[in-house]
Structure 1
Amino acid sequence: MKKSLLFMALFVAFSVATIAQTTVWSDDFEAYTVPVNLTTEGYDVWEGTVNAVDAAANGITAVSGANVAKCNPGSTLNIYLRKTIELQGGKQYTYSASTMQAEGKKHFIQVVVDGTTLKAEGTNTSWQSKSITFTPSVTQNVVLTTYMYFKEVTMYVDDMKLTLDTPTSIKDAETINLTVAPNPSNGIFRITASETLSAVEVYNTAGQLVKNQTVANADDLTLDMSAYSRGLYVLKLSSVSGDHYTKKVMLK
């Protein structure tokens, strides 16, 4: 019952407003002539080395492009890759990055703001996007970090991004004849709409973004959620005209 009430509150919130994200800073490591030590590119690295490298040369595939950040600890148990950016107080931001660690060691992304450390952790052995949403109380330097504390293993990072999040209005999905079927589904949803779509975001009952799929300007697409846990989700669909729509779905 409690979970159902939480989902209903989440859906009501989505029906009133959604979030438009404007990129403040990003790095997919494609701008560098690799390999390059990222301490020469505006990053702070603590207790180890972090280089922008060619992904294929290191036996992996990048999330996007050809390059990734390769993080190796030093003689101690820590490796930090840090970016410090001055952000305005009272505004909402989201820091995200894709990370992986082949041996399944725990690793994090972190935000240090208002003297508090916020974390999103994982033990994923393949690429997984992690995100942290926060609002600085006053204008200040905020530290964005990827972090691991194991020796003799490597962590990879790609597609680091900081966005400014601002509320935008959202429209009823019925206004564009939007359908999602089958619903409930075992994992594969087909989405059709009378308006051209540009992106699909999936949120869980806690309001966390769990999937973000860019669409190649289509009005008929497939959303694969077979790797996700059973339960209720909210889809936020964006159109090429800048409008946003929501739809509830059930994964069984």
Structure 2
Amino acid sequence: MKVEEIMKKEVISVEVPNSRANILELFEKHAVKSLPVLKKGKNNLVGIVTQADLIKNPSEDQLALLMTRDPITVSAKEDIKNAIKLMIDNDLRRLPVTDNDKSLKGMLSIGDIISKGISKLDIEKSIKNYILRTFTSVWEGTPLPIVPHIMRLAKKQALLVLNGKGNLSGIISQEDLIKASEIVSENTKSNISAETEGDFSWDASSTLLITQHKLKLPSDKIVRDVMEKKLITAIESTSIKECADKMRKYNISQLPVLDARGILIGLITDNSLLKALYE
């Protein structure tokens, strides 16, 4: 199977220069989590911008400083297994598909591989050996502005949410944070002074007003207010194909894994299924 058989050929992209506000608008309008960045007036790929980039750089407004430059790419004629290995080795969730001239031809994501690859294969092997037994969780009463810092330190794009009794109550993702955030304008003052030397000297000073557009999470909200409460789950004996089908049907990238008593024991991610397919 080749990359061109699975990749998305019709891709929403953005040109540089551009602003955070336009990127957020495109994310929401087209329900995407990343955008390839093209040179203005051209179809040449120069970068990629994701939801994670916006969360990691809340004070930056310019696309050129938000995006990842010269991203790893793949050819449309490449074998899908080689593309999967590239994703696994570099911890990537998506690959721009380009030709030799860096002209954008499509996008390949883990979601594409799950929905068009794994879900079509009869992989009845259990997910048991691919479950993440160590994972990061957060209390549902945690103030929302704290969550991006936990995600950054844990290097996770989603966190399982526990209630006061330690039971699973939801899941919160970067997408939830983006939806809950707002762009605010903040003004800062900077003093500019100049001095001349000689028989006559004076101090000249003025104030420069700098306006920044920042991505800000409301301080009066907690995790419980924005988390996803309707959970799709799995058990250890669930097959790889069944997990892939659930992820495709509900457009999700992870499933909490419960034991027979309904107690949380782990997490299965689309990345884990990717590794299972590669093996």
TM-score (norm 2): 0.21
Bigger CA radius of gyration: 2
More helix by share: 2
TM-score (norm 1): 0.23
